[in-house]
Amino acid sequence: MDENKYFADRKSKVNMIVRIFLGFLLVFAVVYFLWSLMQYNDAMKTKEEKQAYVESLKDDIQRLEYMVDAPLDDEFKIRIAREKLGMCFPDEIIFYGEYE
9 against 98, higher pLDDT: 98
Tell if the pTM clears 0.85, that is, is over it: no
Number of neighbouring beta carbons within 10 Å of residue 64: 10
What stretches of 1-100 show up as alpha helix (H) in DSSP?
A: 2-69, 74-85
Q: Does a structural domain hold residue 56?
A: yes
Q: Does a structural domain hold residue 37?
A: yes
Q: Does a structural domain hold residue 95?
A: no
Q: Does a structural domain hold residue 34?
A: yes
Q: Does a structural domain hold residue 71?
A: yes
> Tens of pLDDT along 14-48?
888 999 999 999 999 999 999 999 999 999 999 99
How far apart (Å, rounded) are the C-alpha atoms in residues 55 and 94? 35
Domain count, the chain: 1
pLDDT band at 60 (very low <50, low <70, confident <90, very high): very high
Q: Which domain holds residue 15?
A: 2-85
Q: Which residues contact 29 (CB under 8 A, 6 or more apart)?
A: none
Q: Does a structural domain hold residue 68?
A: yes
